[in-house]
Structure 1
Amino acid sequence: MTRKPWDVDFTAHPEEVATLRHVVRLRLAAWGLHELADTAQLCVSELVSNVVTHVGIGTPGSLAVSMSGTHLRIEVHDPDTRALPTLVAAEADAEGGRGMALVDALTDRWGVQLREDRKVTWCELATGLTSPAGHTEDPSVTRAEALLDVYATLRPPTCSYEPGPGRVSRAVAEETVIDVLTDFLRWLRAHGCDADEVLDRAQSRCEAALSESGW
């Protein structure tokens, strides 16, 4: 699985926090890292809220998510290089001050980078992957990858690619999935089956399985 870095601009405002949390959850689900969604959302909330509270409402910023080796890396960029987040021991009844303490407790590591025109507050979460392109163990994914590896050798690739070790490239894999589905649909029709009904049943079964696993 290719997990390309992505980023999104935002304007510091309390309402933006919920939107960014939602975007992160969707991205991690697409990356097969659904088990990190809750923790990642909390980190995003704290880092973006720090910009809102300590830099100011209306400040332009950006959220970037990427893979750092086998860790998930979350970065929040803002233009104020003076207001640095700090780790403080907040009193039990304090209204604030717990943000970075929470990030520190939830993540493997975090820090602040000062650049010429901005600062970057970042944190990293362990994914449990064996490689940045790997996936958490899922029998369905394992079976599908084995099928794609075999099926890709049965038909000429429909687009150019640079093969990776032990896995067809993502581009070819996507085309192969289309080939597999097309051939199975034609097989169903050739045998008098209702292809639309089969697709609906498969979609329902997939959604149920994803729901049970927390995706």
Structure 2
Amino acid sequence: MQDPDPDPTFELALLAVPKAVPEVRRTLSCHPYGDPHPDVQLCVSELLSNVIRHVGEGTPVTVRLTSARGRVRVAVTDPDPRAWPLLRRVGGDDETGRGLALLDAVSLRWGVEQGPDSKTVWCELEGGRHGVALPT
């Protein structure tokens, strides 16, 4: 696994509630790392939404963005090491279940890191001139 810089370029601790999702998207669009990148906003939204749906509304989370070696890592940490996300197939009539498929489609790779009292779901996106321009 590629190690990101140890110091996040962006870090935000919050409660995972539905109104936080658009607020974080807006915060990212105003963050001084350059032009807002829709894939970063999409990944953060999907990871936060998964916490709300599968761990519980009001769960404390930390959102981090880091940049290393031409990639941007988006990570969301929550306090439930057991509720792991699963990529699943959805049918045309299914109303939910597409979040990880979207994340899988736009990211270079993604995964889960388990701690003793938490887990971090992360994904990596291409950085650089046409990707996300975070300072190094």
* Fold-level similarity (TM above 0.5): yes
Question: What's the offset of the Cα at 1:25?
Answer: 1.7
Is the strand fraction higher in 1 or 2? 2
Is the helix fraction higher in 1 or 2? 1
Q: Which runs of 5+ in 1 are unaligned?
A: 135-215
Q: Distance in 2 between matches of 1:44 and 1:84?
A: 16
Q: Distance in 1 between matches of 2:61 and 2:102?
A: 21
**In the alignment, what sits opposite 2:11?**
7
Runs of 4+ in 1 over 3 A off after TM superposition: none
Residues 93-132 of structure 1 mapped to structure 2, 5 A cutoff: 93-129=93-129
TM-score between both structures, scaled by the size of structure 2: 0.85
In structure 2, relative to structure 1, the CA distance for the partners of 1:120 and 1:19 (3 Å cut) is: same
Letter in 2 for 1:16: A
Q: Which has the higher contact order (CA 8 A, sep 6+)?
A: 2
Partners of 2:71 and 2:127 within 8 A in 1: yes
CA RMSD of aligned residues (A): 2.0
Question: What's the offset of the Cα at 1:116?
Answer: 1.5
Larger radius of gyration: 1
Q: Which runs of 5+ in 2 are unaligned?
A: 1-6
Question: What's the offset of the Cα at 1:133?
Answer: 5.1
Q: Distance in 2 between matches of 1:25 and 1:7?
A: 14
Identity %: 40
**In the alignment, what sits opposite 2:57?**
57
TM-score between both structures, scaled by the size of structure 1: 0.55
Question: What's the offset of the Cα at 1:4?
Answer: 5.5
Partners of 2:67 and 2:135 within 8 A in 1: no
In structure 2, relative to structure 1, the CA distance for the partners of 1:52 and 1:133 (3 Å cut) is: closer
Question: What's the offset of the Cα at 1:95?
Answer: 1.2
